[in-house]
Chains A and B, each alone.
Chain A
């Protein structure tokens, strides 16, 4: 089954304790991206990757790092999490859909992170 998976789905941690949220896709997509969803702010793009070893900042990259060492994986790293990073995080990959003639993003199920 074609899918984007994220782990963990839920995480409660403390300020300053480094963490990694993993993202993996099995569709051989070149493009992957991370978003956070916050009440009243919608989805905001954190980082994206056009291909292996190619990443760039989205709108809210502060406090986050990413890496893309292999095509299928795109982990999100919080080196020193703070309470303002408490949020719902989504990973996505993208491919061109011939039927709709658009680039469609496929989202993972989300990771709810709480930083105390």
Chain B
């Protein structure tokens, strides 16, 4: 049972346009969400997070939106750059200091120059 789902395995976007990566979850107990970026042959790196008390968190070109009623979050990258081409994982947890994380299956983003 996949508690965190990323239904789009891949996404292609033109450089300079907006990239929107989506993530859905089923467990209403999740209250902390994170996005990681992963380049080939490297481990994932933390990108941005959001807690359930917020509906938006912004960090430079990256913004995460959370819709609790729909159990849906999205990562917006504006403007997209070729260096953003990577696999993006969303992850969820119960509490920010939890020891357990549930990751989604990942979305491969390709930003076309």
Contacts and interface: CB of A to CB of B under 8 A. Distances in A.
A64 B58 CA distance: 38
B41 A105 contact: no
Contact of A103 (B6, B48, B59, B96): B96
Given A90-B44, A109-B43, A48 B99 contact: yes
A95 B42 CA distance: 20
How many chain A residues sit at the interface, stated as a range, is 20 to 34
A36 to B, nearest CB: 11
Given A41-B105, A109-B41, A58 B46 contact: no
Q: Indicate the member of A50, A58, A92, A105 with the most B CB atoms within 10 Å.
A: A105
Contacts of B4: 42
B89 A42 contact: yes
A100 to B, nearest CB: 7
Interface of B: 4, 6, 34, 36, 41-46, 48-49, 59, 89, 91, 96-97, 99-106
